[in-house]
Chains A and B, each alone.
Chain A
Amino acid sequence: MNSGRDVTTAMSDGDMAPPSAPMPMPEQTISRRRRAPGFFGLFPLRFFNVK
């Protein structure tokens, strides 16, 4: 099927980009509240540390 739209002229990405319709996407908090270290706090594992 040919849509009939003329695209034989040069197009930039701007012509092809989706229309602007901004939407907020806030960064989520993943840090834990600081508490007194319990028993396991004595043996910290680096991959359990969260930002």
Chain B
Amino acid sequence: MVYPRRLASFLFSIAIAVVASWLAADVFLSDGFDPLDVVRILLLATTSAWIAWGASLGLQGVLSHKRSDTATREPLRAEKIAVAIPVYNEDPAAVMARVMAMAQSVHAAGEGSRFEFVVLSDTRNDEIATQERFWLQQLRRDGPQDVQFFYRRRDQNTGKKAGNIAEFLRASGGRYEFLIILDADSLMEGETMIEMARRMEADPSVGLLQTLPKIVHARSWFGRAIQFSASFHSPYFARGLAVMQGRTGPFWGHNAIVRTRAFAESCGLPVLTGKPPFGGHILSHDYVEAAMLARKGWTVRVDPDLEGSYEEGPDNIIDFAKRDRRWCQGNLQHGRLIGVPSLKAWSRFTLAQGIMAYLASPLWLIFLIASILAPMLAPPPNYFPVPHMPAIFPTPETAQAVTLLVGIFGLLIGPKLVIALHSMVTGTSRAFAGPGAVLLSTVVEIIWSSVLAPITLMFQSRSVMQVLLGTDGGWPSANRDADDIGMRESWAASWWIMLTGIALLFGSAQFEPNLFYWFLPVAMPLIGAPAIISWSSTRRSGMRAAQSGLFLTEAELAPSDVIRAYETNFAHWQNAGTPQPQDGVAPAEAGEVAV
């Protein structure tokens, strides 16, 4: 079923691109032909095909059923499974509270002795590193006794996260049959980790099994909107991806299990020649590792039916944009890897998709600018195309323009509405506070995404430009506990977006007044960017959303055991006060954690 589904999605995208080009040609050529019209039509064809591809994933997800054929009840055989938690200047107490919760969970499932949690520190800050050691000893003291805890800090963080994992495998990988790779903010149920290992044992050809992590603990409006979308919409999109992936699935860098031997023999990443951003260490290593595993014949799979997999997300647009800047550089760097020999065609396509995810933004921006400039290059109107006949005035082809706009917007929001409808019919909406709450959240999320889209378009366009100009974004640590963004900080980060919005409106009013009202939905969010960024980052905005019944998720309404255990552990440790340990000396009584 893989190839027909792929073909259906390809044909759907191509058909949309053809229809969009045809309508665009009608609209753009109504005032006569100029070269910019060709550019605009090509840009619109490309971007509409891209949007259609995304929509097709969602629709494929709705049409496919939850897979249950992969579930297994066989007893676990693997003697040792490592759970690697790479950290880089994170909050040590929060990280270790998560590790504790997961250890408690595997212990409660009766398989604690098979699991070893390894904190792989690349932390550069000595004070934080001291805290990491302190909390690890706390774990060893208070954690379940059948679970092992280890800690290793590197002197140099060569190769960043991929290098950190690789160094661990080279030093200790021989001890483990499987390796569960997490992020510092990952959380997984013990049963989920055990089931992942069981599925790996059930199919020896699987080299990597990816879960779909759901976002938890969002506090702001912005964070909660993403949390809802990741919990409610993403499983459908992931199912759509799963039915098309075949043996060449994705790796998203964390909340996944790998067969240690397969990963070690396939994923020793080389350093690219030249300097960053295109040279140096491979930044977005996960996509490449998935491609390398598939190249060696291993199956890479995403199983969206695996529940109990969580992560945290950025709580404001600025932190989101910072992370996006890193991903953008990593994905564009993949341009050098698409031609790597022996890669599966689907792997190359996945790398290309990752690049397109970022190129789409500047393409839209160029399209908008070209639309303002096009009338200046248009030939003067010819009112008398037929001599001695009455004058013919050019028509603006408004109907086609509206059809085009509605079509593109429909592709963006259609899948979300279909998903909402599907959840109401199948009853899955009950887990999200019922059909009414789901419908309200979906509509508000669509409006919010529309407001947010021009702002992220600007951030992404700037990121792409920076990378193409050769600027390395570095590796900023994630700010997982960000406070509200004040207007001053927001203004500093987005004044240029506001100016762009004003320029777009001014430009359209000056050069193409017909476009003025069409540009308002794009320009107004840009002009309001500083206020939008600041407001949507506040905890108050998040609380207001929750109190209004907006963006409620399953994990929030009925938190699973591991989420509650983490919250209890963290609160307990926080109440005990942040200790000031001597380097390497364990605390006497920093707070017992109930298991």
- CB within 8 Å of A: which of B573-595? 582-586, 588, 592-595
Whether B269 lies near A24 (C-beta < 8 A) is no
How far is it, in angstroms, between the C-alpha of A25 and the C-alpha of B170 when the chains are bound?
Answer: 6
How far is it, in angstroms, between the C-alpha of A25 and the C-alpha of B159 when the chains are bound?
Answer: 14
The residues of A that contact B266 with a CB separation of less than 8 Å are 28
How far is it, in angstroms, between the C-alpha of A48 and the C-alpha of B140 when the chains are bound?
Answer: 49
Query: Given A1, A12, A47, which contacts B332 in the complex, CB threshold below 8 Å?
Result: A47
B116 within 8 A of A: yes
Given the known inter-chain contacts A27-B268, A51-B272, please indicate yes or no for A18 contacting B339, CB distance below 8 A: no
Whether B595 lies near A7 (C-beta < 8 A) is no
Whether A3 lies near B140 (C-beta < 8 A) is yes
Whether B145 lies near A3 (C-beta < 8 A) is yes
* Nearest residue, chain B, Cβ from A17: B152
How far is it, in angstroms, between the C-alpha of A12 and the C-alpha of B265 when the chains are bound?
Answer: 31
Task: Give 17 CB contacts A-B under 8 Å.
Answer: A5-B141, A9-B586, A13-B133, A16-B133, A21-B172, A23-B169, A23-B172, A23-B174, A24-B265, A25-B265, A26-B268, A27-B269, A30-B341, A47-B278, A48-B336, A50-B337, A51-B273
In angstroms, how far is the closest chain B Cβ from the Cβ of A26? Answer: 5
Given the known inter-chain contacts A1-B144, A30-B340, please indicate yes or no for A18 contacting B270, CB distance below 8 A: no
How far is it, in angstroms, between the C-alpha of A47 and the C-alpha of B273 when the chains are bound?
Answer: 11
- CB within 8 Å of A: which of B545-595? 582-586, 588, 592-595
How far is it, in angstroms, between the C-alpha of A48 and the C-alpha of B274 when the chains are bound?
Answer: 12
How far is it, in angstroms, between the C-alpha of A50 and the C-alpha of B594 when the chains are bound?
Answer: 53
In angstroms, how far is the closest chain A Cβ from the Cβ of B435? Answer: 43
B354 within 8 A of A: no
If over half of A's interface residues share one DSSP class (helix, strand or loop), that class is named, otherwise mixed; here it is: loop
The residues of A that contact B365 with a CB separation of less than 8 Å are none
A38 within 8 A of B: no
The residues of B that contact A7 with a CB separation of less than 8 Å are 137, 140-141, 586
Q: How many residues of B contact A (CB 8 A)?
A: 60
- CB within 8 Å of A: which of B155-187? 166, 168-176
Query: Given A5, A10, A47, A50, which contacts B340 in the complex, CB threshold below 8 Å?
Result: A50
How far is it, in angstroms, between the C-alpha of A28 and the C-alpha of B268 when the chains are bound?
Answer: 5
How many residue pairs link A and B with beta carbons under 8 A? The number is 140
The residues of A that contact B136 with a CB separation of less than 8 Å are 16
Whether B273 lies near A5 (C-beta < 8 A) is no
The residues of B with any CB-CB pair to A shorter than 8 Å are: 82, 116, 118, 133, 136-137, 140-145, 149-153, 166, 168-176, 260-261, 264-273, 278, 292, 332-333, 335-341, 582-586, 588, 592-595
Whether B171 lies near A5 (C-beta < 8 A) is no
How far is it, in angstroms, between the C-alpha of A38 and the C-alpha of B12 when the chains are bound?
Answer: 32
Given the known inter-chain contacts A16-B152, A18-B150, A28-B270, please indicate yes or no for A1 contacting B595, CB distance below 8 A: yes
In angstroms, how far is the closest chain B Cβ from the Cβ of A4? Answer: 7
- CB within 8 Å of B: which of A15-51? 16-33, 45-51
Given the known inter-chain contacts A1-B145, A2-B592, A10-B585, please indicate yes or no for A25 contacting B152, CB distance below 8 A: no
Whether B292 lies near A19 (C-beta < 8 A) is no
Whether A48 lies near B335 (C-beta < 8 A) is yes
Whether B150 lies near A16 (C-beta < 8 A) is yes
In angstroms, how far is the closest chain B Cβ from the Cβ of A22? Answer: 6
The 9 closest A-B pairs by CB, nearest first: A23-B173, A1-B595, A21-B174, A21-B175, A3-B145, A18-B150, A16-B151, A47-B335, A23-B174
Given the known inter-chain contacts A28-B292, A32-B341, A47-B278, please indicate yes or no for A23 contacting B144, CB distance below 8 A: no
The residues of A with any CB-CB pair to B shorter than 8 Å are: 1-5, 7-13, 16-33, 45-51
The residues of B that contact A29 with a CB separation of less than 8 Å are 270, 341
Whether B174 lies near A22 (C-beta < 8 A) is yes
* Nearest residue, chain B, Cβ from A22: B174
Whether B586 lies near A11 (C-beta < 8 A) is yes
The residues of A that contact B142 with a CB separation of less than 8 Å are 1-3
Query: Given A4, A11, A24, A32, which contacts B133 in the complex, CB threshold below 8 Å?
Result: A11
Q: Which of A13, A21, A46, A47 has the most CB of B within 10 A?
A: A47
How far is it, in angstroms, between the C-alpha of A19 and the C-alpha of B265 when the chains are bound?
Answer: 21
Whether A25 lies near B586 (C-beta < 8 A) is no
Given contacts A10-B582, A16-B136, A23-B260, 7 further A-B contacts (CB under 8 A): A5-B140, A16-B150, A18-B172, A18-B175, A20-B171, A25-B166, A25-B170
The residues of A that contact B582 with a CB separation of less than 8 Å are 10
How far is it, in angstroms, between the C-alpha of A20 and the C-alpha of B176 when the chains are bound?
Answer: 11
How far is it, in angstroms, between the C-alpha of A44 and the C-alpha of B152 when the chains are bound?
Answer: 44
* Nearest residue, chain B, Cβ from A23: B173
Query: Given A11, A26, A32, which contacts B265 in the complex, CB threshold below 8 Å?
Result: A26
The residues of A that contact B338 with a CB separation of less than 8 Å are 48
In angstroms, how far is the closest chain B Cβ from the Cβ of A48? Answer: 6
The residues of A that contact B333 with a CB separation of less than 8 Å are 47
How far is it, in angstroms, between the C-alpha of A21 and the C-alpha of B340 when the chains are bound?
Answer: 31
The residues of A that contact B583 with a CB separation of less than 8 Å are 10
Whether B341 lies near A33 (C-beta < 8 A) is yes
The residues of A that contact B171 with a CB separation of less than 8 Å are 18, 20-22
The residues of B that contact A3 with a CB separation of less than 8 Å are 140-145
Whether B151 lies near A13 (C-beta < 8 A) is yes
* Nearest residue, chain A, Cβ from B586: A7
In angstroms, how far is the closest chain B Cβ from the Cβ of A46? Answer: 7
Whether B264 lies near A24 (C-beta < 8 A) is yes
The residues of A that contact B340 with a CB separation of less than 8 Å are 30, 32, 50
